[in-house]
Structure 1
Amino acid sequence: MPKAVRFAEYGGVDVLNLVEVERPTPGAREVLVRVVAAGINPGEAMIRRGVLHERFPATFPSGQGSDLAGIVEELGAGVTGFALGDEVIGFTDNRASHAEYVIVEENHLSPRPADVPWEQAGALFVAGTTAYAAVHAVKVGRGETVVVSGAAGGVGSLVVQLARQAGATVIGLASESHHAWLARQGVIPVTYGEDVGERVRAAADGTIDAFIDTFGAPYIELALELGVPGERINTTIDFPGAAKHGTKAEGSAAAARADVLGELAALIAGGELEIPIARVYPLDEVRDAFGELERRHTRGKIVLKP
């Protein structure tokens, strides 16, 4: 029988288990995908811990995972856009991709370009669409200066690249171990921590037009202190802060479309976008994978491979 990750209560990584499940059967306009790679995300850890219970409650036993890349194994009735054996990138809204097989709606899939590695394909959806939405939310423009917190993380590493492609000067907040990578992307790296505001002002040498927070508190407050207008501040994680200060909080849901996946995948295939892969874990080491993720010091994405 195929296996999938499940948890039966809120808690730490120890509540995660790999269990045997029935092989899913696709319904109308659905596709059964054999998962080759599936990214993991901070939001999944927050859901598992119960931190987002009011916003995204879990029903137990719960699966997890949205990101996926894999091979079409079975077609439901009415599917016309894909064939058996097709290699695809996609997403599920059913917390189910951390598994050997997953059911995916046909319109949640995009072909995998041959030049996109499986690991990057499997890690694309949440981080890619979140970064895409965040950059569009603050209307990054050519010649502007944008600050990005968590600039080397799974989302932040894509935000800085997309903002640079839009023609902006980008200041990236990250630990010093990530500064060389940021500099190679054309980003001005700044160390976070005490007196970060002074370092950002020095790096900007002028007006700061927008701020994208991918880390959480206290960066909305920092952005406001730096004089960034509230409508040009977007957080992908600090929802209470956004509600308090009236800033934006657009993320994956604002760009969760197959055409966006296709656009991002084309950028990767063309060498214009990189998804750094911090580490790849086998599915049965899901606890270790999330343990590393929740220490919040990785550059780029952590990926599970069944």
Structure 2
Amino acid sequence: MKAAQITSYGAADVLRVNEVARPAPGAGEVLVSVEASSVNGHDVIVRAGELKMVSGRRFPLGAGLDFAGVVVETGADVEGYRAGDRVWGMVHPRKRHVTAGAAEYVVVPAGRISLVPAGVSSVDAASLVVTGATALLALRDSVHAVKGERVLVRGAAGGVGTAVVQLAHALGCHVTALARDRHAPVLTGLGADEVLDYGSTTSDAIGPFDVIVDTVGTELNCYRSRLAAGGRMVTVGLSASALAAIAASSVYGSRRVRTFSANPDTAVLRDLADKVTSVALRPVIDSVYPLTDIAAAHKAFERGGVVGKHVVAVSA
């Protein structure tokens, strides 16, 4: 089978599409024929070597965190899935993988997948797995956003940002999106009540907000100061400086900066499917690349300025 692999740590050109043996499912596992994957921040920082403590120094490493496709085979003790089922899911983000989601086949534990919502293509589904789960967990489990609250989404035009805008709108929150000015029409269409140009808007000129969801990972203390009394903030844009700011913010109690690593199980993916079915969340895709051009997809992700996701089409 063909699989995108990281051959060494570095820039996007270290990615190669290699011929490797097709994996076989063990007990409790499912073999999926992958039709689409996507590019996520986690994929890029693994490739760059920023998670060496987890991924180690042995190569090759599998590329691609998420996937959507069709069940080919189930291992022993798997219930609820059979060959032909259309599923979505993700590999474990804190484990080393020789092949991962950006491959013609992937083996995962059955507890890491769920059925794709009816009528949703694999390309659309792949664009929603990580971004949708991250947005859902951020709003629901991290900052506990509720109807009527004022929510600021920083980095609102990216994959996670567009999902947060939609889910916060569906909750009945007042949504302020911080993004490039040219992305305002799209974000307004997704449910943003107002869109502020991040290039000309300073943190001290906005707010206060009940909830801030940050996807950028910089200037966290500046934005944290724009929380109202009882406000909550979470960031999913992690870096060394962001981790330092998160740790330092602990002195502010409930108004600290929270973070988490999205690692959805079947229950979360089913909740996500409900959001898609109810049209509270829909895919936002910037571009689609073939598997052979996954390096170009990574480069486009790193250039930024996108609206939504870069998807990698593995098979049709």
What is the TM-score of this pair, normalised by structure 2?
0.88
Aligned partners of 1:231 and 1:248 also within 8 Å? no
Letter in 2 for 1:148: V
Task: Identify which of 99, 102, 113 aligns with 1:109.
Answer: 113
Once the two structures are TM-superposed, the CA of residue 58 in structure 1 deviates from its matched residue by 5.7
Identity of aligned residues (%): 36
Q: What do residues 186-210 of structure 1 show as CA deviations (whole Å, max 9, x unaligned)?
A: 3110010344225534xxxxx4111
C-alpha distance in 1 between matches for 2:57 and 2:161:
27
AA aligned to 1:292 is A
Displacement after TM superposition at 1:53 (Å) = 3.1
Aligned pair partner of 2:302 in 280, 283, 294: 294
Describe the SS at the equivalent of 1:69. Answer: strand
Letter in 2 for 1:88: V
Change (3 A) 1:114 1:224: closer
Change (3 A) 1:231 1:183: closer
Gaps of 5+ in 1: 202-206
Q: CA RMSD in A?
A: 1.9
Of 110, 135, 155, 1:131 maps to 135
Aligned to 1:51: 50
Q: Residue type of the partner of 1:24?
A: P
Partner of 1:60: 59
Residues of 2 paired with 1:276 and 1:176: CA distance?
A: 17
The residue type paired with residue 260 of structure 1 is V
Whether contact under 8 Å (1:134, 1:251) holds in the other structure is: no
| 1:226-270: CA deviation from partner (whole Å, max 9, x where unpaired) | 2456971100023412123232102413xx121221221232233
- CA offset digits 1:52-105 (Å, max 9, x no partner): 334665642211222111011112112221111111111211541110000011
Tell me the secondary structure at the aligned position of residue 44 of structure 2: helix
Q: How many angstroms apart in 2 are the aligned matches of 1:159 and 1:146?
A: 10
CA distances 1:165-223 after superposition (whole Å, capped 9, x unpaired): 2221111110012100111223110010344225534xxxxx411111011202x1222
Q: Which amino acid aligns with 1:122?
A: A
User: Once the 2 structures are TM-superposed, how far is the Cα of residue 116 of structure 1 from its aligned partner?
Assistant: 1.5
1:200 and 2:206 aligned? yes
Partner of 1:243: 247
Which aligned pairs between 1:156-171 and structure 2 lie closer than 5 A? 156-171=161-176
Q: Distance in 2 between matches of 1:182 and 1:22?
A: 43
Letter of the 2:299 counterpart: G
Q: SS state of the match for residue 294, structure 1? A: helix
Structure 2 Cα separation of the partners of residues 275 and 208 of structure 1? 26
CA deviation digits over 1:23-78, x for unaligned, max 9? Answer: 10110011110001111101210111122334665642211222111011112112
Aligned length: 297
Give the AA of the match of 1:287.
A
**Preserved contact between residue 88 and residue 116 of structure 2 (Cα < 8 Å):** yes
Q: Which residue matches 1:221? A: 221
Distance 2:246 2:4 in 1: 32
Distance 2:3 2:191 in 1: 40
Letter in 2 for 1:38: S
SS at the partner of 2:259? coil
Structure 1 residues 4 and 257, CA gap change in structure 2 (3 angstroms): same
Single out whichever of 172-181 and 93-102 deviates more from structure 2. 93-102
Shift in CA distance, 132/35, structure 1 to aligned 2, threshold 3 Å: same
State the alpha-carbon separation in 2 of the partners of residues 296 and 17 from structure 1.
22
1:40 aligned partner: 39
Determine which structure has the larger strand proportion and give its number. 2
Q: 1:38 to 1:244 in 2, by over 3 A?
A: same
1:125: Cα distance to partner? 2.1
The answer as to 2:179 corresponding to 1:180 is no
CA distance in 2, matches of 1:130, 1:181: 20
Q: Secondary structure at the match of 1:252?
A: coil
Instruction: Tell me the distance in 2 between the aligned counterparts of 1:44 and 1:294.
Output: 11
Residues 39 and 67 of structure 1 are in contact (CA less than 8 Å); yes or no, is this contact kept in structure 2? yes
Which residue number in structure 1 is paired with residue 272 of structure 2?
Answer: 264
**What stretches of structure 2 of length at least 5 have no aligned partner?**
251-256
The AA in structure 2 aligned to 1:215 is: V
Are the structure 2 counterparts of residues 227 and 112 from structure 1 closer, same or farther at C-alpha, using a change threshold of 3 Å?
Answer: closer
Q: Which residue of 2 aligns with 1:281?
A: 289
For residue 4 of structure 2, what is the aligned residue in structure 1?
A: 5
Distance of 1:174 and 1:196 partners within structure 2: 12
Q: Given that residues 153 and 175 in structure 2 are in contact (C-alpha distance below 8 angstroms), is that contact kept between their aligned partners in structure 1?
A: yes
Q: TM-score, normalised by structure 1?
A: 0.91
